[in-house]
Amino acid sequence: MRIVIPSELEEEVRQTLNGMADYVEATSAPERTDRLWPACFEVFGTNPMSLAHGAVGPALFLHRIGRGLAASTIDWIERQPLSTAAYAPGYWIGLAGIGYGLSELGMTTKAEEAISLSYSSPLRRSEASMFHGEAGWGMSSLHFFERTQRQEYLDGAVGAAQWLVDTAIRDERGLTWAAGSGEESPLGFAFGASGVGLFLMLAGRAVGEDRFIESAMEAFEFDFAHRQDGPHGWTWPAYIGGETVLPYWGSGAAGIGGVALRMFAGLGDRRYLRIAETIAEATALIWTIQPGLVSGLTGIGEYMLDCFIATGKEEYLERCANIARTLLLYRIPRPEGFAYPDRWLARISNDVVAGAAGVGLFLRRMRQPTANPFIDLVGTVEMLPSSATVTS
């Protein structure tokens, strides 16, 4: 499937992707040990390999657009010492996400080293979230089970799902989980109940466990119940009681809408599709402060692309094209190619969360629609509506 976009935009996007790849390749620094590519400063407080800020994200970008990785890049990745002392276990920042990314790159031995180490991490089950916690870790385990059919990965995912069900906090609005910080109660895909619910739904479908699916539905309802009906429609703050509402993919409307689309695809209940389309109306933006994936315009573009793939409605394709036009305005011309700024627009970043890799993977996916590389880790749910047994 190839999206038909205006010819002048198609050519500019193609040239931009090539320029971005040129810049990423030219700014590799294999002589360094603290990071391989320029990234958000958080790379220095986490680790040099993570999916969010480390080497795995830009490597995935180069791989997905058809650029082979340089021998120096492969060697650098292979030489990185992985451990439970230096690396968290989770998906976006830790070993599970590194393992997933490396498996996509075909670096099977290093990938299995990463995911295997994550199983013994003392930080396992310290929180629930998709970004840092057990839900994201479980998604990676499901991915490795689909890739290898090894029972220990399915057992790990089921164990994660059971722990999440056992530790859930129930109230009249649904299910949620204690925040990792013990303070603010987050909402949304990355840190809130809906992201956990997505994993529980996938785990329930993988093993035919209704209790996981029922908990997934209740988790989604918790986040959904905290919506605010503003002048432009539904939106959400980053945490319960927050005053600032957000349209974004990590925290905010686009992420919750993306979960709703996958609940529709997985369970066949059109209510989730109606919710997703209503959310899409409130997030029909073409300008945000930041261009990035998790807290910027790229994540909204990913959501509109998901809506187009799920419904076939041309209006979502038009929104994707308009978002792409805006993202092109953030390009920073450099002698090596095109660079992109980080979350605070303060420095150049090649990472996934805020920088070029996240933007580039969206632009590539807009030209050649595929599963979302950061959400659809397993093939249990296909985004095309024909995959769903639809109920009213």
Q: Is 381 or 369 the better-scoring residue by pLDDT?
A: 369
Residue 68: closest CA among 21, 2, 15 = 21
Indicate the range of 214-218, 220-224, 275-279, 285-289 predicted with least confidence: 285-289
Q: What does the pLDDT look like over 317-365, one tens digit per residue?
A: 999 999 999 999 999 999 999 999 998 899 999 999 999 999 999 999 9
- Asked whether the beta carbons of 363 and 16 are under 8 A apart, the reply is yes
Does the structure show a pLDDT above 90 at 45?
yes
User: CB of 39 within 8 A of CB of 59?
Assistant: no
Residue matched to tokens 């619910």: 197
Q: How far is CA 26 from CA 53, 356, 371, in A?
A: 18, 13, 28
State pLDDT tens for residues 116-136. Answer: 999 999 999 999 999 999 999
Two tokens at 356?
């070029």
Which tokens in the block code for residue 38?
């320029």
Give the gyration radius of the chain's Cα atoms. Answer: 19
Residue 69 pLDDT more than 80? yes
φ, ψ dihedrals at 337, nearest 5°: 150, -145
Distance between CA atoms of residues 219 and 197, nearest Å: 5
Quote the CA–CA distance of 289 and 48 in Å, as a whole number: 27
Contact present, 316 and 270 (Cβ < 8 Å): no
CB 228 within 8 A of CB 167: no
Are the CB atoms for 190 and 199 separated by under 8 Å? Answer: no
Q: Which amino acid makes up residue 143?
A: H
Rounded average pLDDT over 238-247: 95
- pTM, two decimal places: 0.95
How far is it, in rounded angstroms, from Cα 142 to Cα 209? 15
User: Helices in the chain by DSSP H: which ranges?
Assistant: 7-26, 56-64, 71-79, 95-104, 108-119, 134-148, 151-167, 193-207, 210-225, 253-267, 270-282, 297-311, 314-329, 356-367
Q: Are 372 and 302 in contact (CB under 8 A)?
A: yes
Q: Answer yes or no: is pLDDT of 380 > 70.
A: no
Residue 1 predicted with pLDDT over 70: no
Q: Count Cβ atoms below 10 Å from residue 2 Cβ, excluding itself.
A: 8
Rounded to 5 degrees, φ, ψ at 332 are -115, 105
pLDDT band at 177 (very low <50, low <70, confident <90, very high): very high
Evaluate if residue 392 carries a pLDDT over 90. Answer: no
Secondary-structure percent of the chain, ordered helix, strand, coil, rounded to 5? 50, 10, 40
pLDDT confidence of 39, banded at 50, 70, 90?
Answer: very high
163: Cα within 13 Å, side-chain hemisphere: 18
- Mean of pLDDT values over 367-374: 88
**Which residues, in sequence order, are CB contacts of 328 under 8 Å at separation 6+?**
12, 13, 16
Percent of the chain having pLDDT more than 90? 90
